[in-house]
A = this chain, B = another copy of it.
């Protein structure tokens, strides 16, 4: 008698086989694309010493962390892939070559309050380029190219990579004498799209006690929009106010200038002065990526430039630039928005071989031949009625059924049925393999995401 009701913890994604195949396809695209840009895969432990993981200390992170002891050890599950990267680079500094480009796709853990679409265990898919002492600005120009390649390979067209530069923002607030309040101001400006300019102005003046003329300056700065060229030209008018702003503007122009060479179309890219991405960590270019038809989802790929990856672990200046995709949440919202292709081949096998004779040898030999040719093949071995076998193939959406009866065996042939069209042909094993492979190749042309 069963004694325990099976359950999966709330906030933990566990997919059925079909959706899991879609997820695997997405991961494969991420791995391949990251690798194509010269990022090397890393895999660090999910458990770290708590004191190492929390070296930076504090805040929200520490409340959400899964922390526990085992024996004498104070342990914790990683809550992102950045801290483990910092540890890795510091620990293996002497064995790595810089710039060090790595990707990592792995699960991270945050004990957030459970709610729909929030996960406690989720995949992040990160890339970072780490320099030793210095890192050239052109690395920051390369990142949008990776983002563009990823989302295009996934099947998206209507997305926009939004870019800003923290030096432009910080330089601007510095020029207004508002450096100390800049964090509060940016947090307020971030709400511009949501609450409108009037309300932002009100918060700036009333809550943050910013003089009215400066609030107006901030609002007109934030109102700079238009084509990349228009935004950069408008920003040129701010030149000379602050060295930092000038430097940030030069960087922004470099990033925009190399876009076309990096293969990123203008329509998938925008300079957006409202983007700030957090408060302290990022120091140069920052990135967000939004789906144009689903702004409510927020950014699906974000990151930026930072000056010092591993200052808590090593006395070396290690500047870097990176982006992160919250893969589990992305997969969830794509599903919610009905954007995951339902024509994609998610069957466990390309072909199901149905032996129709007591001696299974010919069917097994056919399966072995198919497998050697790379066709994902299942042999149906259970003693069931024909109808039950076909219903199995249907339920799993296996594209091809292959029948092997006495007639076929006597003639050295097999019957291949395309289960989508219902068309059945009797063919040699070689011709059958060829037919199935061509059909599967066509099926696999489809993209994971549909708009």
Question: Which of chain B's residues has its CB closest to A355's CB?
Answer: B138
Determine which residue in A1, A36, A37, A349 has the highest number of CB atoms from chain B within 10 A of its CB, and name it. Answer: A36
Interface residue? A372 (CB, 8 A): yes
Copy total for this chain: 2
Query: For residue A20, which residues in chain B have a CB less than 8 angstroms away from its CB?
Result: 40-43
Question: Which of chain B's residues has its CB closest to A349's CB?
Answer: B38
Among B40, B121, B261, the residue within 8 A (CB) of A365 is B261
> Are B381 and A136 in contact (CB-based, < 8 A)?
yes
A109 CA to B73 CA, complexed, in Å:
15
Interface residue? A195 (CB, 8 A): no
> Are A131 and B382 in contact (CB-based, < 8 A)?
yes
New contact pairs (14) apart from A7-B49, A142-B381, CB-CB < 8 Å: A3-B312, A8-B88, A14-B43, A20-B43, A21-B41, A46-B107, A47-B109, A66-B70, A71-B111, A97-B396, A99-B381, A135-B382, A263-B371, A263-B372
Interface residue? A12 (CB, 8 A): yes
Q: Mark A80-123, 1 if CB is under 8 A from B, else 0.
A: 00000011101110011101011000010101000000001100
Interface residue? A15 (CB, 8 A): yes
How far does the Cβ of A239 sit from chain B's closest Cβ, in whole Å? 23
> Are B4 and A17 in contact (CB-based, < 8 A)?
no
Given known A-B contacts A36-B374, A96-B17, A360 and B109 have beta carbons under 8 A apart = no
> Are B71 and A68 in contact (CB-based, < 8 A)?
no
Q: What count of chain A residues pass the 8 Å CB interface test?
A: 103
> Are A52 and B16 in contact (CB-based, < 8 A)?
no
> Are B6 and A314 in contact (CB-based, < 8 A)?
yes
> Are B41 and A91 in contact (CB-based, < 8 A)?
no
A-B CB proximity, top 10 nearest: A38-B378, A68-B68, A40-B348, A38-B349, A261-B364, A4-B55, A12-B45, A6-B313, A6-B90, A6-B91
Query: For residue A330, which residues in chain B have a CB less than 8 angstroms away from its CB?
Result: none
How far does the Cβ of A170 sit from chain B's closest Cβ, in whole Å? 24
> Are A381 and B37 in contact (CB-based, < 8 A)?
no
Question: Which of chain B's residues has its CB closest to A70's CB?
Answer: B111
Interface residue? A145 (CB, 8 A): yes
How far does the Cβ of A199 sit from chain B's closest Cβ, in whole Å? 36
How far does the Cβ of A131 sit from chain B's closest Cβ, in whole Å? 7
> Are A7 and B52 in contact (CB-based, < 8 A)?
yes
A337 CA to B271 CA, complexed, in Å:
54
Interface residue? A315 (CB, 8 A): yes
Interface residue? A281 (CB, 8 A): no
Determine which residue in A44, A45, A377 has the highest number of CB atoms from chain B within 10 A of its CB, and name it. Answer: A45
Query: For residue A37, which residues in chain B have a CB less than 8 angstroms away from its CB?
Result: 371, 376-378
Query: For residue A5, which residues in chain B have a CB less than 8 angstroms away from its CB?
Result: 313
Interface residue? A430 (CB, 8 A): no
How far does the Cβ of A88 sit from chain B's closest Cβ, in whole Å? 7
How far does the Cβ of A51 sit from chain B's closest Cβ, in whole Å? 7
